[in-house]
Amino acid sequence: MDFLTTVEVAQRLGVSPREVRRLATTGVLTPVKIGTSWTFSDTEVYRLQRQARHPGRLWSARTAWAALELLGGASTELIDQPRRSRLLARLRALEPQQLHRLAGKRTEVHRFHASDRGLSRLSRFVSPTGISAVADQATAQRFGLAGVASEKRVDGYTRVDLTIVVEKCRLVPDAAGNATVRQLPEGLAVDHLLGTAPVVAIDLMDSDAVRERGSGRDRLKELLDGV
């Protein structure tokens, strides 16, 4: 992982250095002090660039999860029949990257750094998805990711209060960290969808690793083609 200066980040994002500092103070960017200078990880800046290139309104969490349930071949009770029909038609016209963007509000994503012990504790609080889901050999083979080392990373969904998870697992905020905690939306009964192919695939597309991101994209493409 490389680190960029404030000026370099400003150039990449097309904003002023002052705006970069504002993004840092509001938590959009995570500064890392190297020597006497504040720097930013290139992976985090790249993620922000991708979001900026695709403006427009995102789906609500309810619509996003309904789309993932439909993509898995089941009906969904999250939305009514007229909206289900419209959403199915929309899915048939989407590419994986578009779906990934539109479903961006399906969950609140928090990234941290954790020790090996912290990762072990965290796995008790979350339902695995993304790279953690493909730790299972059969799942890894379905996604073409057999042999990918995942024991040093955890990615999962939880309904436990985030402050409790952070305290119990001693997590440190880190935009490029090895622990990803996804808060399930309140009021939506979507737990039965965790671990399904559409959810694992779309979460893999959040990865900073090209191979993992590509695997999620390819699986989503297969699912979209089958709608």
The domain spans of the chain are 3-52, 61-225
Share of residues in the chain with pLDDT > 90 (%): 54
User: b/e string for 135-156 if b means 16 or more Cβ within 10 A?
Assistant: beeebbebbebeebebeebbbb
CB-hemisphere CA count at 13 Å for 50?
16
Radius of gyration (C-alpha) of the chain in whole angstroms = 18
What pLDDT does 26 receive?
65
What pLDDT does 118 receive?
96
- Mean pLDDT across the chain: 88
Q: How far is CA 118 from CA 137, 160, 167, 171, in A?
A: 23, 16, 10, 7
Map residue 115 onto helix, strand or coil. coil
User: What does the alpha-carbon distance between residue 43 and residue 56 come to, in Å, rounded to a whole number?
Assistant: 23
What mean pLDDT is predicted for residues 108-134? Answer: 93
Contacts of 172 (CB under 8 A, 6+ apart): 112, 113, 114
Map residue 128 onto helix, strand or coil. strand
Map residue 56 onto helix, strand or coil. coil
Top pLDDT among 6 and 53 is at 6
What mean pLDDT is predicted for residues 117-134? Answer: 95
Two structure tokens written together for 33: 């002090």
User: What does the alpha-carbon distance between residue 65 and residue 67 come to, in Å, rounded to a whole number?
Assistant: 5
What pLDDT does 175 receive?
72
Least confident of 35-44, 89-98, 188-197: 35-44
Least confident of 39-48, 105-114, 127-136, 177-186: 39-48
Confidence check: pLDDT of 54 > 60: no
User: What does the alpha-carbon distance between residue 27 and residue 97 come to, in Å, rounded to a whole number?
Assistant: 25
Confidence check: pLDDT of 217 > 90: yes
Phi and psi torsions of 5, nearest 5°: -80, 170
- Class of the CATH-defined domain 3-52: mainly alpha
Per the DSSP assignment, residues forming a β-bridge with 4 are 40
Per the DSSP assignment, residues forming a β-bridge with 5 are 39
What mean pLDDT is predicted for residues 195-224? Answer: 92
Instruction: Note the pTM of the prediction, 2 decimals.
Output: 0.77
